[in-house]
Chain A
């Protein structure tokens, strides 16, 4: 009589729990399916494990709530006296071991697949900086930085008054996307220049830390064209939340065309570094560089955020002399968040940013810095 009672209650309890679990799965998000074969095997592994732990949870909670419903004093239930059972202890030690083995087998298989970085058709070196990424296409000799786009950057300032919902791809758009060919086995080499970062695009199925002084490896083979977004996943300072990653996967042909275009741009940049620039050119280019590279710390008006981020101008005047300014921008300042930009930017970018910083807030009373000047200091 009592046994049937427990069984009926258990079935009812289980039905309720299953409905709750169904609801929990129905309202929520799951991991993205991914756009590589590897990412899809991670997705399947995730679903398998999630399924197993859900079943375990349902069974455990069914037993528990059946007991809570049936074995209560308010129903006149008398306590039994038993306090151990070796048989039960062995059973509920052995069954979890079996379940764990069942989970470990596919997990091991997928992990071995991820860790095999051999057979790469191209290599991309990724370097994390506070707070942007540098991508180098090792074989093609192309390299560039990738930082959050200006729209997002403006909107995300404290009290900006801009509604993030009005910004397309808020916080998940960059100035220069990482363009990659589809159906190509790509090896990534990850490192960092300052602190630890972590490169993560969920659609690729993994994240890997970018650590100063170390080179980590990872690989992917993207099967669909498209734009895939991610973010830095390791706390890397004030703007950790603002260093997105955007991968643009294109056909191998389109990728080759893009490479050719980049090479042309590179040649143009070399020419630009050598020639003399007008003040207007420097100011307009400088504003763009300043907003992208400097404004997140030193603020849009150069006022900084004391004491962490010093003001560059006070009462309209630059706070330091030009030589120190050039030196600091090139080499950074040790013990602070100020990074050296000699590897990050072209001489004309630095020259323009310097010109902009020294002239933007004092009606143009400051110095004009030519790319060639910066290039000379860089060598010296």
Chain B
């Protein structure tokens, strides 16, 4: 500790605190990236354990394990932990590690803020998870916290709201840092249209975060004052409007959905060209498609609430706007396939996860298109069809992309190759069971099973049992992922700087493992070094 506080600014290359202090006081983008990723993995396991409680209760009709109130706490917490604790910090962790390496910057632009944005998170989640042990229990109104239901709970709501505020502060600071880094710290010659697509998608995501996290903060603050200070923003009896909350929430919520998927697009756009040994097809179109999706994400929010009773004109607008998103999303999928087309492909674990992403994200995208159609949405809404849809895009979408990214960059981080055989087993195991887990949920939704119920009519029994078996197999299979990472950190075949023979970009010009400080002298970037060569041919 004393060491750290007396360390002199100029000799940071020589002195580095060790032990706990190294991690507590670190301002290094690589160490903070590692912290983010470890935190995210821990939350992935916590949120996964909650999912297993849900699937265990739903294994058979009747209540066997938990009471309905606790079941609702599990569905609520599972979502909050997975979204804010697992997926978002994983993307921030990857950005922390890779954005400076990809644009030739020595670190993030605001290293101390970087430290703070990470270290808020453990406190935020301690607050959030502690509500489960309070007398009134954790939040149980769903992660969307719709009033009036969310206002019926006990005092734990205040803790949940404060936790959400902390997560928001962390996200906004992280986003500011990423924007400042990308706009100010690119190496000479690294023009915007030479940036790797992962950097581009994160730049756009960061703007989304800054735009919508304050909206969420406003919404939950109004909940807080309604619950504890006698206001009536959402209380109809006091002249308020419960539907207003839904509009505000989803104005945050829909861009949030893209916050959870745009960086995934970026990761996949890095990996497919590497293993196809062919430049990304339509780089410029990919950038514009990402920007279009981000823009459209602000004008489609009410498609989450078609059943609240909106005017016909509003429903038509939100339906058409939602359908339009299929166009830029389609462009992305077609461009990935065109990148693969006539490439020279190999199928290492990162490529397998990236291809799994493309297939299953497409399935989730197509069911999303079905959900956009208002008259059929009146049937699908709030059923397991929706649950299947968003788990396809979030688990076999976002989480698959994160895993692809981890396998892809793990040798760069640790200096060791991971166990390729185990990686492939992890992929095939996950892919089989994730489909057993989520595909039958489409059938359940179409057959009429509402979501967020702890028990169901017996005609839903078979597919629920299949889904639960898939859930347990998929869930426990993820322990293999933890083991593979642990094994790779401990040792293994030495990785070269290049790691993958088809890889391009600045991150592959530094040694593996990447030393604590890289690009103290900025590299010179020209079209030969730049990852994407779209404009050259």
Contacts and interface: CB of A to CB of B under 8 A. Distances in A.
A196 B146 contact: yes
Interface in A250-287: none
Nearest to A32: B448
Given A164-B62, A205-B378, A238 B320 contact: no
A219 to B, nearest CB: 13
Contacts of B340: 64, 67-68, 71
Contacts of B137: 308
B370 A50 contact: yes
B375 interface: yes
B18 interface: no
Interface in B11-42: none
Contacts of A67: 337, 340-343, 345
Interface of B: 61-64, 66-69, 72, 135-137, 140-142, 146, 148-149, 152, 154, 236-237, 240-243, 276-285, 307-309, 312, 315-316, 319-320, 323-324, 326-327, 330-331, 333-334, 337-338, 340-347, 355, 358-359, 362-363, 366-367, 369-370, 373-376, 378-379, 381-383, 439-440, 442-444, 446-448, 450-458, 461, 463, 532-534, 536-537
24 contacts: A29-B447, A74-B346, A77-B344, A80-B341, A83-B281, A83-B533, A89-B331, A107-B319, A107-B375, A108-B316, A111-B319, A158-B67, A159-B64, A165-B461, A171-B61, A211-B242, A213-B240, A216-B308, A216-B309, A230-B448, A235-B72, A239-B68, A240-B68, A241-B453
A235 B370 contact: no
Contact of B457 (A162, A172, A337): A172
Interface in A119-174: 155-160, 162-165, 169-172
A241 B454 contact: yes
Nearest to B62: A164
B280 A83 contact: yes
Given A84-B537, A241-B453, A104 B320 contact: yes
Contacts of A349: none
B344 A307 contact: no
A79 B278 contact: yes
A73 B370 contact: no
Contacts of A111: 312, 315-316, 319, 374-375
Contact of B68 (A198, A238, A336): A238
Interface string A213-238: 11011000000000000111111111
Contact of A45 (B62, B373, B452, B457): B373
Identify whether the interface residues of B are mostly helix, strand, loop, or mixed.
Answer: helix
A76 B448 CA distance: 50
Contact of B374 (A107, A158, A205, A335): A107
Contacts of A96: 326-327, 330
B337 A60 contact: yes
A242 B446 CA distance: 19
- Most chain B beta-carbon contacts within 10 A, residue among A74, A171, A217: A171
Contact of A165 (B61, B63, B533): B61
A161 to B, nearest CB: 9
A89 B285 contact: yes
Contacts of B66: 158
A311 interface: no
B185 to A, nearest CB: 27
Contacts of B442: 28
A157 B66 CA distance: 10
Q: Which of A80, A100, A160, A213: most chain B CB closer than 10 A?
A: A213
Given A31-B447, A172-B457, 17 more contacts: A28-B440, A56-B366, A60-B334, A71-B342, A72-B344, A83-B279, A93-B330, A103-B373, A108-B319, A111-B315, A160-B62, A160-B63, A165-B61, A213-B241, A217-B309, A234-B146, A235-B141
A361 interface: no
4 closest Cβ contacts across the A-B interface? A213-B236, A241-B453, A216-B309, A28-B443
A371 to B, nearest CB: 29
Contacts of A64: 337, 340, 355, 358-359
A212 B381 contact: no
A364 interface: no
A191 B454 CA distance: 25
A57 B363 contact: yes
A170 B307 contact: no
Contacts of A205: 375, 378-379
A147 B288 CA distance: 53
B243 A211 contact: yes
- Most central of A31, A32, A305 by chain B CB within 10 Å: A31
